[in-house]
A and B are shown apart, each in its own frame.
Chain A
Amino acid sequence: MNCQEYRREIIDMAAGEPGANTEGSRAHLAGCDACRRELDEITRLMDGAGRALSALQAPPLELSRVRLRHAGKSVHRWLVPGWATAAGIFIAALSGALLGYMGAHTGRDNPHSRQQVRLAETKSDFWTVRTDSAELLRMLALQDRMRQGDLPDSHSDKP
C-alpha cells in the first residue's frame, strides 16, 4: 500500500473505527514522517472540534414543556387523527360540489329555470284567453240566430 491508501486507514484509526487496520497503519507511521504529520493534523482538528462542541452546555430539559408537547401530540393523535381530518375535508368538499351542481340544475334561483316557469305561465294565459274568445264568438253567433228566428230545436222554448 502507498501513503495515499494508508491515509484512509489512518483517518479511520484516528476516528476510533473498530474495523481500522491499526497494526498496519502503526507500522507504516513508524517509518513515514508525512503520514505522521497527517495523523497529527487530523487528531488536532478532531480534538478542536470535540473541545468546541463539548463546551456547548445543553440547556436544562424543561420537562413541563416536553410534557405539554407530548400531551399536545397525544390529543391530536387520539381526537383528531390526520386521516380523519383529511377525509372530513374531502367529504365536505364533495358534498358541497354535489349540492351546488344539483342546485344549479333544479334550484329556484336558477335564472334559466325562472325563464322556463315564466314561459309556461304565458302559454297557459294565452290558451285561456283563446278559449274564452272562442266561447264569446260562439255565443254572439247564437244570439244572432235567435234574433232571426233561426234557432235549432234544442234551443226552442216550445215543447
Chain B
Amino acid sequence: MEAWIDDLYRRHGSAVFSFLRGMVRDSHAAEDLMQETFARALAAADGFEARALPSTWLFTIARNLALNHIRSRRHEASRRCDLNSIAAAGGDPLEKAGIDDEAALVLAALVTLGEEKREVFLLKVIEGLTYREIAGVIGCPMGTVQSRFHRALGELKRTLEREGVQK
C-alpha cells in the first residue's frame, strides 16, 4: 500500500502541491494539505474505483481540503491589493525559485480570481485536465467549466493589462 501511495506521489505530487498552493496561497498550508491529501488517499484506497483516474480522484480530495481551508480562513480582503507589491514582496522562497517577473505576476494575478474560476484555471493549466475531467473533479456541468475557464482567462488578461504586463 505504501509503494502505491509513493508511486502516486511521484506521479502527481508536484501537480497536487501546485494546485493547493495556487488555491490557498500559502506554502506552509499547501504543504500540510498535501500531506493530508495523501493520508486521505491512503485511508480511502479501498474505496477507490478503478474507473476513476487517480489524478482526478486525488484532485477531488485536494480540492475539498483546499476549499475547507479557505472557508475556515476567509481572508479575501487581500484579493484587491496591488499585484506588483505582491510579486515583489514575494516572501515565499518557493515562488522566488526560477520564476521570471512575468510568471510571478501571472501567479500573483491568480489571487484576483474567485475560487470557482481559480480552481478550474489551475486544474487546466497545471494538470492539463479536459473540461469533462474538471467537471468530474468539481462536480458541475462541463459547460459551466468551459465558461468559468473562459472568464478566468479574460479576467487574468484584463488584470495583467492593467499592470502593464500584456498588451
Contacts and interface: CB of A to CB of B under 8 A. Distances in A.
B93 to A, nearest CB: 10
Contact of A48 (B34, B102, B124, B149): B102
A56 B43 contact: no
A41 B103 CA distance: 13
B156 interface: yes
B163 interface: no
Given A18-B130, A58-B18, A73-B43, A49 B125 contact: yes
B97 A53 contact: no
B108 to A, nearest CB: 9
A135 B39 CA distance: 92
A59 B14 CA distance: 8
Contacts of B40: 73
A49 B121 contact: yes
B18 A61 contact: no
Interface residues of B, number: 50
| Interface range on chain A (Cβ under 8 Å from partner) | 35 or more
A137 to B, nearest CB: 88
B103 A55 contact: yes
Given A15-B124, A58-B17, A66-B38, A49 B9 contact: no
Given A57-B14, A58-B17, A66-B42, A45 B166 contact: yes
Nearest to A38: B157
A17 B153 contact: no
A116 B44 CA distance: 64
A12 B146 contact: yes
Nearest to B17: A58
Interface string B107-128: 1001000000000011011101
A149 to B, nearest CB: 108
Given A49-B106, A58-B13, A58-B34, A74 B43 contact: yes
Interface of A: 8, 11-12, 15-19, 41-42, 44-46, 48-59, 61-63, 65-67, 69-70, 73-74
